[in-house]
Amino acid sequence: MASLVGSRVERKEDKRFLTGKGRYTADINIANQTYAVFVRSPHARAKIKKVDVSKALKSSGVVGILTGEEIATDKIGGLIAGWAIRSEDGTEMKVPANPPLAKDVANFVGEPIAIVIADTLDEAKSASDLVKIDYKILKAVTNTAKTMSGETIHDGIDKNLCYDWLLGDREKVKEAFSKADKIIKVDLINNRLVPNAMEPRACVVDYNTASEEITLYTTSQNPHLSRLVMSAFGGVAPENKLRVVAPDVGGGFGSKINVYNEEIVCSWASKKIERPIKWVAERTESFLTDTHGRDHVTHAELAVTNDGKFLGFKNETIANLGAYARVFGTVTPTYLFGPCATGVYEIPAAYSNVKAVYTNTAPVDAYRGAGRPEATYTIERLVEKAAMELGIDRTELRMRNFPKTFPFKQTLVHTVDSGDYVAGLEKAKQMADYNNFESRRKESEAKGKLRGIGVSSYFEACGIAPSAAVMSLGCGVGLWESAEVRFNPTGQISVFTGAHSHGQSHQTTFAQIAADELGVPIENIDVVHGDTDKGTFGMGTYGSRSLTVGGIAIVNACKKIVAKGKRVAAKMLEVSEDEIEFKDGEFVALKSNKKKTIGEIAFACYVPGQRDEMKSPIPEGDEPGLIESSFFDPANFSFPAGSHICEVEIDPETGEVKVEKYTAVDDFGRIVNPMIVEGQVHGGIAQGIGQALHENTEYDETGQLITASYMDYTMPRADNFPEFNLGFTCTHATSNPLGVKGCGEAGAIASPPTVMNAVIDALGGQEISMPATAEKVWKACKNLKKSNSKAA
């Protein structure tokens, strides 16, 4: 039987998605359901003096209105930060309380203050207009770089500083820098992004008055984790009385990791009013209240010798957490950022210093890549600038500093198990026709255009593991994953995973893996996820972990099935177990060549007997049934890597940047489904080009979000992209039996510096910040003209 792993199996999900039959949270309706609308703060920072709901309560159709007072009385817990980070001086991070409904003070525009529940959505909306809130408006703090000198937002959190974190050795770095021929410096802004999942957040809560069980349908990347947090920290219900279902979810990119205010409040309120509640975010609410991404201000330096050897690296970064610290908010700019900031290079000395600050803006959390795009942007801008200043070809400079042997002990934390960075960059150069770039540049110049080329080489650390290591760094939970493989008596198989698919195609990829392990047709396998009443437990999907952690749990559970199958087959075929070989779905007794298919074994496990003969197929010590589970905790992260090359053409008259060519060569280890992986890379590159050229989240000084709709927030569209030219190299991961590495975030990690390096190359080395909008580029083109005419 041909292996399914490695082949372009069509997505099992597509039929329902493409025919409009996906079942999303907003598609779910429950008899007698009510509708919720949240009253939100219109101010970025204000004291809440009084909330008057008396008039609103009299409005037609209103079922109830609940505020921060009631939620405090009921002792419902607030939202949490998932990682505890310690400052360089040993003190613990400072975290403010984050109640689900703000009671005394509102800290960002859009923060919920009250929930209005009515029979219809229109009635809830009309009533919400009648809730009167008396505010005392305070001065907002919004500017990332200046936050520490602004007014203190949260009582007791001096300078608005959550932590001042250091990874690395300042002394060693100082010494390395003292030996350098040249110090390359950059000042960078990693622009804030709104995740913009296609499906806005939503929840539907059904409280069963008989069983006292709450069922929460929600847009989550990790339903089990949501249940744990809502139960353990929110106190909404004990875990056995709380079922969380994340059905089809239309994209997350990190923004649906968090348990949000609305889910907690609706769950709590549904129990109070004893009726189901539905809430669906409008797009403006998504802009205002989904966790945002990035928002770093960084100064970084690279110490180099004249012949291009890297000696030392350091970065000083201010990371904006927004108003509150959320699940991955505090780890994103630290352990997901710092260790990757030295990139794919041997740099003997390094440190990464990050100050995380609170501002009166939406909370910032993981967004596709989470920390690693910021790290890669930092080091790859430095390396490109170093190449320019040293007069060494950018690819040659990179290759000189790549590690040549693996495992590679990276400067700050990681031991990278496998890779071949030289091969990746060589392949990318060849695919991008790098060596003939200058002739293309001349062609563009003949048309009055500027052309630039940019490279970035990256590695990333994903599939965070093992649990003991991540918990030692402050994570509140372990990051293993579980799977259960359940045979039915008639031979179909349900594979339960704790990972969650919201665009990643797990139903296909995981079925391919299980089909290979069990030797059954892929049609016989259903992958089940997203329901705490179905799967055992799970940590969910983010950080490119599903395959490298969750996929391996499936492999291991399948191996247990096969092991039991061997024992049963041995008994049925009346041979010893070591005489049985399992191949292509059949258990074969080697000497006699008698066989049992895995389907026959499953049937025998569930129907263990026969007429007229008192004989069980179940060996002594085994039990009937064919169900196995596995919890997999990898020994290490997985470390995908690669090199991307971009060419841009600029019209100096308008400043418009056109991405002409984009080449990506990635090493994701063994690839399960090349089509799906290519889709992941396409999406990631598109998001990265979006960050580099288009997307920006802008707050004004009073904390109003100016880019709160698609009229002002530039979401890239298909016509902003060229055809992506993708290639792969392959070194197997050693930390898992499939040899796979994560692929979900790589595109978004590698592409912003690749594009920006190309733009800056076209602009003669002028620094320009992301996004490189037409006007910024136009101004830089004018400067270039001026300096050229001076030079002439």
- Considering beta carbons, is residue 121 or 473 the nearer one to other proteins? 121
Tokens of 752: 């912003």
Binding part of the chain for other proteins, among 198-206, 269-277, 386-394, 652-660 by CB under 8 A, reads 652-660
Residue 702 as a binder of other proteins (CB under 8 A): the answer is no
Residue 122 as a binder of other proteins (CB under 8 A): the answer is yes
Could you tell me which of 436, 433, 539 has the C-alpha nearest to residue 483?
539
Span 41-100, contacts to other proteins by CB under 8 A? none
Q: How far is the CB of 715 from other proteins (least distance, A)?
A: 7
Residue listed under structure tokens 């089909």: 515
* Euclidean distance between CA atoms 299 and 240, whole angstroms: 49
Q: Residue 791: which H helix or E strand, with range?
A: helix 774-791
Binding part of the chain for other proteins, among 425-433, 469-477, 520-528, 707-715 by CB under 8 A, reads 707-715
Residue 198 as a binder of other proteins (CB under 8 A): the answer is no
Q: What is the CA radius of gyration of the chain?
A: 28
- Considering beta carbons, is residue 284 or 597 the nearer one to other proteins? 284
* Euclidean distance between CA atoms 256 and 252, whole angstroms: 5
What phi and psi values does residue 437 have, to the nearest 5 degrees?
-60, -40
Binding part of the chain for other proteins, among 139-147, 224-232, 354-362, 775-783 by CB under 8 A, reads 775-783
Residue 443 as a binder of other proteins (CB under 8 A): the answer is no
Strands 62-67 and 408-409: unpaired
Residue 701 as a binder of other proteins (CB under 8 A): the answer is no
Binding part of the chain for other proteins, among 405-413, 505-513, 649-657, 680-688 by CB under 8 A, reads 649-657
Do the beta carbons of residue 82 and residue 328 sit within 8 Å?
yes
C-alpha to C-alpha distances, 559 to 172, 556, 670, 740, nearest whole angstrom: 48, 5, 19, 17
Q: How far is the CB of 35 from other proteins (least distance, A)?
A: 14
Among 706, 737, 785, 788, binds other proteins (CB under 8 A): 706
Could you tell me which of 166, 481, 95 has the C-alpha nearest to residue 337?
166
Residue 712 as a binder of other proteins (CB under 8 A): the answer is yes
Q: How many residues bind other proteins (CB under 8 A)?
A: 21
Q: How far is the CB of 657 from other proteins (least distance, A)?
A: 11
Among 467, 492, 714, 725, binds other proteins (CB under 8 A): 714
Residue 778 as a binder of other proteins (CB under 8 A): the answer is yes
Do the beta carbons of residue 303 and residue 314 sit within 8 Å?
no
Among 699, 713, 724, 728, binds other proteins (CB under 8 A): 713
What phi and psi values does residue 704 have, to the nearest 5 degrees?
-80, 135
Own/partner pairs, 394-401, CB within 8 angstroms, 24+ separation? 394/455, 394/757, 395/425, 395/429, 395/434, 395/455, 396/308, 397/308, 398/344, 398/345, 398/425, 398/455, 398/457, 398/643, 399/425, 400/308, 400/309, 401/308, 401/309, 401/310, 401/345, 401/346, 401/347
Among 63, 773, 780, 784, binds other proteins (CB under 8 A): 773
Residue 711 as a binder of other proteins (CB under 8 A): the answer is yes
Residue 710 as a binder of other proteins (CB under 8 A): the answer is yes
Among 523, 584, 653, 701, binds other proteins (CB under 8 A): 653
Among 208, 536, 702, 707, binds other proteins (CB under 8 A): 707
Tokens of 631: 């919890």
Residue 694 as a binder of other proteins (CB under 8 A): the answer is yes
Residue 183 as a binder of other proteins (CB under 8 A): the answer is no
Among 610, 654, 787, 788, binds other proteins (CB under 8 A): 654
Binding footprint of other proteins on the chain (CB under 8 A):
122, 126, 284, 653-655, 694, 698, 706-707, 710-715, 773-775, 778-779
